[in-house]
A and B are shown apart, each in its own frame.
Chain A
Amino acid sequence: MKSFTQVTGIAAPMDRANVDTDMIIPKNFLKSIKRTGFGKNLFDELRYLDEGLPDQDCTGRPLNKDFPLNFPRYEGAKVLLARENFGCGSSREHAPWALDDYGFRAIIAPSFADIFFNNSFKNGLLPIILSAEIVDQLFQEMYANEGYELSIDLAEQVVTTPSGETFSFEIDEFRKHCLLNGLDDIGLTLREADAIRAYEEKRQQQAPWLFGAIQPGA
């Protein structure tokens, strides 16, 4: 897994509540069997004026000039500022893949939908929860200052603004540890293989019907 330690970069806005995963990456693009290449279709229906097709070259498509990610000032943004309940809707991991592929490394919002929140960590994308007031302050500062950059330090759990103001955030220990070290979840769990087998053995005696095999042609 990709690690995350420190990131400093331009902040860009996604200034609405309840941004759903269909908005982040519309279903037309879920047909890929790969993990990469989704960045050009991030927020497709908002970013472009025409309907996007899978596997299409997006360079000649008409851009929606009113959509902030198309503003030159947000080019190369690494931090996305968002509102309540970001990432609601489907479980598609294509949403964090698309954000990551576009170049975002962190998202700051007052709240996230559970599955999206969880999926982000698996891809080295850091979702940061700050209070609605602080997020609002960051939005205002960003709008007022072109080239507004935020710095994020995961080890210290702080977000620093250009004026040097700092905001600390919470993160659970296990996720922090995995993210800092880029650890592979599966490898870590397989270290517990004995515990898993012991559980299975005990459980199979108590509730054998839970171990009913799915058989072909049954």
Chain B
Amino acid sequence: MAGKTLYDKLWDAHLVKERDDGSALIYIDRHIIHEVTTPQAFEGLRLAGRKPWRVDSILATPDHNVPTTAVERASGVQGIEDPVSRIQVQTLDDNCDEFGIVEFKINDNRQGIVHVIGPESGACLPGMTIVCGDSHTATNGALGALAHGIGTSEVEHVMATQCLVAKKMKNLLIKVDGELAPGVTPKDVVLAIIANIGTAGGTGYAMEFGGQVFRDMSMEGRMTVCNMAIEAGARAGMVAVDDTTIDYVKGRTYAPNEEQWDAAVANWKELVSDVDAEFDKVVEIDGASIKPQVSWGTSPEMVLPVDARVPDPAQEADPVKKTGIERALQYMGLTAGQNITDIAVDRVFIGSCTNSRIEDIRAAAAVAKGRQVASSVIQAMVVPGSGQVKAQAEAEGLDKILVAAGFEWREPGCSMCLAMNADKLGNGEHCASTSNRNFEGRQGYGGRTHLVSPAMAAAAAVAGHFIDVRDLTSQA
């Protein structure tokens, strides 16, 4: 019999019951919630007279709607200017108070983006099943956990039953071996993967990231990669547990206590795919060949190395793809064959659950140090992923470097990743963004998003257009 994949192991360990029709009940260990996808779920519970099954398995924080300027944040929920956003954040507070759920509220120094605070607080651990009403929950898979996004009906279902009705997915291994070139980051790796397999390439699969590149990668880098599994169509992305994982978890607030630690570690060390495990599909990519990436279109698969040219629809044979390229070029205001490095940027956004952790801020600050944001750039902002990240960055003096270079230093939240608060692009503006989605209108009505790494975003801010960050470094 073939061995098990990491996903097989996580699935088996959480199987409560298999039903005759092939669906299964899966036990959920951790449930993270935010203000946008929960009000209707709480309402459902109330209407049915139900209570959460295990209230202490839930952790809440507001992130999508919170303002990120210090001024607007000063007076907490009441200070949120947009009344509709304020009601949503207030509703989360009220629901958590009513049901007795722990919430890192708006001005708690532990508040932040759901997918940042989960691992950071130790609420999310290796070997867990983790859900959240948000598709980027896969971020937590970096811990060697089975983590995925769910809809609001499922949020209600998990609260009421601690289980999810699920069907086992297929196994996909993305293997990236070799060594990354200097200046190439985890974000570039995941963008290159999506360019390779497409936005539907992982549909129906649980995606494991394996190979030398991920073994060498930091935990935060692995989170960046797993975060974007959904952009490749996979609900869950994951990386096997190793010493990097265990070192990361140690000492976090909700990590196992001393009594349980050794047993937990012994258990976690099993969380790897067996050498003889069989995957339904394997994709191999040469890590050494990956260059810094920039997305040019309106889907995360429309991405190219920074030294490439924008594609020409005339050279695409498939009619659906061809119109897709034409439509994207039109929306993005680009010309076929144009150099990516000739695209000027109007705004720069460094943040989001993909790239708002301390290593990301360090990478941006390293590029910004001693340089200035180009005068043609209207705004360049850095939005830390959580209060903890913000405090750490300030302790290292990174905020000062960034501000001196002309960046704005903000309060934690989702911010311009999806522009539900006041941070957004103007119609037709190009943005170098470290977020995960370049869909039409995502960062503001008519806005044009280019997905890049934090170092590449900072380099674009300084140059006023896209540039290979490595050229900038060699010029300095």
Cβ of B452 within 8 Å of any chain A Cβ, yes or no, is: no
Beta-carbon contact of A27 and B418 below 8 Å: yes
A residues less than 8 Å from B156 (CB atoms): 186
> CA separation between A64 and B151, bound complex, in Å?
30
Beta-carbon contact of B154 and A114 below 8 Å: no
Q: Shortest CB–CB separation between residue B110 and chain A, in angstroms? A: 10
A residues less than 8 Å from B48 (CB atoms): 186
**Among the listed stretches B181-189, B280-288, B440-448, which one makes contact with chain A, having 4 or more residues with CB under 8 Å of it?**
B440-448
Beta-carbon contact of A93 and B160 below 8 Å: no
Beta-carbon contact of B162 and A196 below 8 Å: yes
Beta-carbon contact of A26 and B441 below 8 Å: yes
Beta-carbon contact of A218 and B253 below 8 Å: yes
Q: Which of B19, B39, B200, B439 contacts A33 (CB 8 A)?
A: B39
A residues less than 8 Å from B36 (CB atoms): 30-31, 92
- Assuming the contacts A27-B419, A27-B420, A173-B21, asked whether A114 and B203 have C-beta atoms less than 8 A apart, the reply is yes
Cβ of A151 within 8 Å of any chain B Cβ, yes or no, is: no
The residue in chain B whose Cβ has the minimal distance to the Cβ of A188 is: B165
> CA separation between A130 and B267, bound complex, in Å?
44
A residues less than 8 Å from B84 (CB atoms): 31-32, 54-55
Cβ of B392 within 8 Å of any chain A Cβ, yes or no, is: no
Contact with A along B56-96 (1 / 0, CB 8 A): 11110000110000000000000000101101100100000
Cβ of B275 within 8 Å of any chain A Cβ, yes or no, is: no
**Among the listed stretches A5-13, A72-80, A201-209, which one makes contact with chain B, having 4 or more residues with CB under 8 Å of it?**
A201-209
Cβ of B323 within 8 Å of any chain A Cβ, yes or no, is: yes
Beta-carbon contact of B19 and A174 below 8 Å: yes
Within 8 A of A (CB), among B397-447: 418-420, 437, 439-442, 445
B residues less than 8 Å from A122 (CB atoms): 151, 153-154
Beta-carbon contact of A85 and B199 below 8 Å: yes
Within 8 A of B (CB), among A167-213: 172-175, 177, 185-186, 189-190, 192-193, 195-196, 199-200, 203, 207-213
Q: Shortest CB–CB separation between residue A201 and chain B, in angstroms? A: 12
> CA separation between A30 and B88, bound complex, in Å?
10
> CA separation between A218 and B103, bound complex, in Å?
12
**Among the listed stretches A17-25, A99-107, A142-150, A158-166, which one makes contact with chain B, having 4 or more residues with CB under 8 Å of it?**
A17-25
Q: Shortest CB–CB separation between residue B157 and chain A, in angstroms? A: 5
Beta-carbon contact of B133 and A111 below 8 Å: no
Beta-carbon contact of A18 and B199 below 8 Å: yes
Q: Which of B53, B135, B199, B324 contacts A91 (CB 8 A)?
A: B135
Interface size range of chain B in the complex: 35 or more
Cβ of B174 within 8 Å of any chain A Cβ, yes or no, is: no
> CA separation between A85 and B194, bound complex, in Å?
14
Beta-carbon contact of B125 and A210 below 8 Å: yes
A residues less than 8 Å from B91 (CB atoms): 33
- Assuming the contacts A22-B437, A113-B233, A196-B163, asked whether A91 and B203 have C-beta atoms less than 8 A apart, the reply is no
**Among the listed stretches B22-30, B212-220, B238-246, B369-377, which one makes contact with chain A, having 4 or more residues with CB under 8 Å of it?**
B22-30
Q: Shortest CB–CB separation between residue A127 and chain B, in angstroms? A: 13
B residues less than 8 Å from A27 (CB atoms): 418-420, 442
Q: Shortest CB–CB separation between residue B444 and chain A, in angstroms? A: 9
Beta-carbon contact of B16 and A195 below 8 Å: yes
Q: Which of B50, B154, B254, B437 contacts A89 (CB 8 A)?
A: B437
Beta-carbon contact of B442 and A189 below 8 Å: no
Cβ of B123 within 8 Å of any chain A Cβ, yes or no, is: yes
> CA separation between A212 and B203, bound complex, in Å?
33
- Assuming the contacts A200-B27, A212-B254, asked whether A22 and B160 have C-beta atoms less than 8 A apart, the reply is no
Interface size range of chain A in the complex: 35 or more
Q: Which of B53, B152, B441 contacts A22 (CB 8 A)?
A: B441
Contact with A along B23-48 (1 / 0, CB 8 A): 10101010000001101100100001
- Assuming the contacts A186-B160, A192-B25, A196-B163, asked whether A114 and B204 have C-beta atoms less than 8 A apart, the reply is yes
Contact with B along A55-92 (1 / 0, CB 8 A): 10000000000000000000000000001110011111
Q: Shortest CB–CB separation between residue B93 and chain A, in angstroms? A: 13
> CA separation between A195 and B26, bound complex, in Å?
11
Cβ of A123 within 8 Å of any chain B Cβ, yes or no, is: yes
A-B contact pairs, 25 of them (CB 8 A): A16-B320, A31-B87, A31-B420, A33-B40, A34-B39, A35-B40, A51-B445, A90-B134, A90-B149, A91-B134, A111-B200, A113-B200, A114-B233, A114-B235, A118-B151, A119-B153, A119-B154, A174-B22, A186-B48, A190-B161, A192-B25, A196-B162, A209-B264, A213-B56, A214-B102
Can you name 19 extra interface pairs (CB under 8 A) apart from A93-B40, A115-B150, A189-B157? A16-B323, A16-B324, A20-B299, A22-B418, A28-B420, A31-B36, A33-B40, A34-B39, A45-B445, A89-B437, A91-B149, A93-B151, A114-B233, A119-B152, A123-B153, A189-B163, A192-B163, A195-B25, A214-B254
Residues in chain A within 8 A of chain B (CB atoms):
16-18, 20, 22-23, 26-28, 30-35, 45, 51, 54-55, 83-85, 88-93, 96, 111, 113-115, 118-119, 122-123, 172-175, 177, 185-186, 189-190, 192-193, 195-196, 199-200, 203, 207-216, 218
Please list the 6 inter-chain residue pairs (A to B) with the smallest Cβ-Cβ separation, ordered nearest first.
A213-B56, A33-B39, A209-B256, A122-B153, A119-B151, A173-B21
Residues in chain B within 8 A of chain A (CB atoms):
13, 16-17, 19-23, 25, 27, 29, 36-37, 39-40, 43, 48, 50, 53, 56-59, 64-65, 82, 84-85, 87-88, 91, 102, 123, 125, 127-128, 133-135, 149-154, 156-157, 160-163, 165, 167, 199-200, 203-204, 230, 233, 235, 253-254, 256, 260, 263-264, 267, 299, 320-321, 323-324, 327, 418-420, 437, 439-442, 445
